[in-house]
Structure 1
Amino acid sequence: MFLFYLILQQIFTMQVGKFQTLKVSEVNNSGYILIDELGEKAFLSKILVNSTLEVDQDVDVFVYQDDDKLKATTETPLCEVDEFAVMTCVQSLPSGAFMDWGIIKDLFVPYKQQKGKILESKRYIVYVYIDEESGRITGTTKFKRNPQYTDLPFKKGDKVDLLMIGESELGWNVIIDKKYIALIYASDVYKKLYPLSTEQGYIKAIREDGKIDVSLQPEGFENIDEFKQKIIDKLNDNYGLIYLSDKSSPEEIKDELQMSKKNFKKAIGGLYKDKIIEIEDDKIRLL
């Protein structure tokens, strides 16, 4: 059996588990035979296509494995190979769990790849990869919370999409753009967060050891306009008055505006200079 899987890996040269553009090679009653530049074939069922395709026509598809064959779909999975996504378990068996990842074929998470027993109808963060032994697209809920990276595609200050993993002793573990695990330190958390939810974040630091720190708010005066607008919106919602000032505690500012005192002081300083607000001992007033 192991030899069979090794042979299978060598045969499949197409980008399994990825979106790609393939060409229609043949048309039959059931669907279409698609080929890549090397002539590797994948089958696309007619039920997955809204319009008729012609021979030599290019089509964008996601390629997956079904038993010993390659198949294609125009459906969009929740993630590709080497990415994370939140998935719902549709069936749990002693051998493993089947997860709904957005396409016609469910993703299998073997029992040995489950951090804890996966239960039907529950949602989990799943990492999708190609199993080295079987050559199959596989899911896992076991992954490192502090991996080290090289050649990252972003830099300090970049805005990114975050998926919240869960809280730790240092803060919150998160996933950046479906691919990279990072940390938000507790001191940078200014709002209530929930596991499996999504947020916008900013790259705070890429450390020498290859680990990533993220913040929920941009840093520096170049980003202060976002905080200014947030304060103005709050003033408009409260009849031009907020009971906060530069003397307010970080906790009071966090509860009211979900920002740090540092960013709050920068923002109200700019608004005061622009003659938009008046700062009193215990409140801010919109002029």
Structure 2
Amino acid sequence: MNLGEIQTLKLNRFVEFGAYLVDLDSNANGTSVKNGEVLLPKKQLPTNAKEGDHIEVFLYKDSEDRMIATTTIPPITLNKLAVLPVKEVGAIGAFLDWGLTKDLLLPFKQQTVKVQEGDQILVALYIDKSKRLCATMKVYDYLDTNSPYQKDDKVEGIVYELSRDFGTFVAVDQKYSAMLMKNESFASYRPGDHIQARVVSVREDGKLNLSTRDKVYIQLDEDASLIYKKLQENDGFLPYNDKSDPELIKSTFNLSKNAFKRAIGRLLKNKQITIEDDGIHLV
């Protein structure tokens, strides 16, 4: 009987408040070879259940720290990942709704960012030092590196951690290890955000490097259109040019300085703008 896993057990005996289950290797008289018995509460019993039946259950611990079985299968099992909603935040951490009577604890130490009620976050399920099931947002080591994706494939993922030094960590399809590289990210993200991206490269270890931008020759037209639209919305003038501060460009347009220069160069070549000392002007 393994905590946090889905298992098929045998109904051994009925009691007033439910039935006790044993492992399938139990002796004919119901004596368990190795695991003892676990309670399946009465409200969880299948209709017309009888002794000897095989029942698929999930094993977790109740509010009194006793192992208990349920026929309600949660969206996450031991060492696996799922996106779960934050139900509330308490004194020892956040509590996640995973469909069971007892909510799943996400300790403060296992949060990569402070979560709030209503957040949808990617977590893994593990057993803590007290032999209890808990959630963690530190899912890096739980992700697979054998994705089917190749360079330039379009993917979808969920942000699970941020790094000032490296970039934005993303779980593609909620299971594959990926990173939105620092020089390829021009928006502000937080854990739980969903993104669409392009695979820039597949590393030797199988992890994916991502970008939210398309190839330069495709992205150029889109960037130029963005700047042209902003010019139209601002009476034909924007106080930016190729000498403007890169951080100001990034915060205003979500573009790198180089992408901005390429885009206004395209508009200039098409004779749609002029570039002056005070900024760019529509023709």
TM-score class normalised by the smaller sequence: 0.5 to 0.7
Which deviations, in whole Å up to 9, do the C-alpha atoms of 1:184-236 show, x marking residues without a partner? 33333333444444444333222112122222333321222321221122112
Matched, 1:85 2:83: yes
Q: Which residue in the other structure is 1:36 paired with?
A: none
Matched, 1:244 2:263: no
Please list, as runs of the form range in 1=range in 2, the aligned pairs for 1:62-141 lying within 5 A after superposition.
Answer: 68-71=69-72, 82-85=80-83, 87-90=85-88, 98-101=95-98, 103=99, 108-109=104-105, 115=110, 125-128=121-124, 139-141=135-137
Q: Which residue of 2 aligns with 1:27?
A: none
| Contact preservation (8 Å) 1:182, 1:213 | yes
Instruction: Report the alpha carbon displacement of residue 178 of structure 1 after superposing the two structures with TM.
Output: 2.7
Measured in 2, the distance between the counterparts of 1:7 and 1:213 equals 32
Q: Which digits, 9 at most, give the CA deviation of each residue in 1:129-160, with x for residues without a partner?
A: 598xxxxx974434226956013346435253
CA 1:92 to 1:243, structure 2 compared with 1: closer, same or farther past 3 Å?
closer
* Normalised TM-score (structure 2): 0.59
CA separation of 1:278/1:245 partners in 2, compared to 1, >3 Å: closer, same or farther?
A: same
- Report the counterpart of residue 162 of structure 2 in structure 1: 166
Contact 1:148–1:209 under 8 Å retained in 2: no
Q: Unpaired runs of 5+ in structure 2?
A: 11-45, 48-53, 61-67, 128-132
Q: Is the 8 A contact 2:122 2:174 kept in 1?
A: no
Distance in structure 2 (CA, Å) of the matches to 1:193 and 1:149: 23
Aligned to 2:212: 216
Equivalent position to 2:7, from 6, 9, 31:
9
Q: Distance in 1 between matches of 2:142 and 2:259?
A: 28
Q: Give SS of 1:279's match.
A: strand
CA–CA separation in structure 1 for the residues paired with 2:242 and 2:5: 68
Question: Does the C-alpha gap of structure 1 residues 144 and 261 become closer, same or farther in structure 2, counting only changes over 3 Å?
Answer: same
* CA distance in structure 2 between the partners assigned to 1:146 and 1:268 by the alignment: 43
In the superposition, relative to structure 1, how do residues 211 and 188 fare at CA in structure 2: closer, same or farther (>3 Å)? Answer: same
SS in 2 for 1:190: coil
Alignment deviations for residues 36-92 of structure 1 (CA, whole Å, 9 cap, x no partner): xxxx988xxxxxxxxxxxxxxxxxxxx9789534347xxxx9x66644425314486
**Aligned equivalents of 1:7, 1:282: Cα separation in 2:** 64
5+ residue gaps in structure 1? 13-31, 34-39, 43-62, 132-136
Q: How many residues align?
A: 231
In 1, Cα distance between equivalents of 2:155 and 2:230: 23
Mapped to 2, the partners of 1:192 and 1:119 lie a distance apart of: 16
Larger Rg: 2
Task: Encode CA deviations 1:4-42: one digit per residue, 9 max, x unaligned.
Answer: 879962459xxxxxxxxxxxxxxxxxxx98xxxxxx988
Cα gap change, 1:285 to 1:210, in 2 (>3 Å): same
What is the match of residue 261 of structure 1? Answer: 257
CA distance in 2, matches of 1:280, 1:212: 41
The 1:158–1:171 alpha-carbon spacing in structure 2 relative to 1, beyond 3 Å, is same
RMSD, aligned α-carbons: 4.7
Q: Tell me if structure 2 keeps the 8 A contact 1:221–1:266.
A: no
Percent identity (aligned)? 25
Q: Could you tell me the TM-score, scaled by structure 1's length?
A: 0.58
What is the SS of the residue equivalent to 2:178? strand
Distance in structure 2 (CA, Å) of the matches to 1:147 and 1:6: 18
Corresponding residue of 2:32 = none
Counterparts of 1:262 and 1:80 in 2: how far apart (Å)? 43
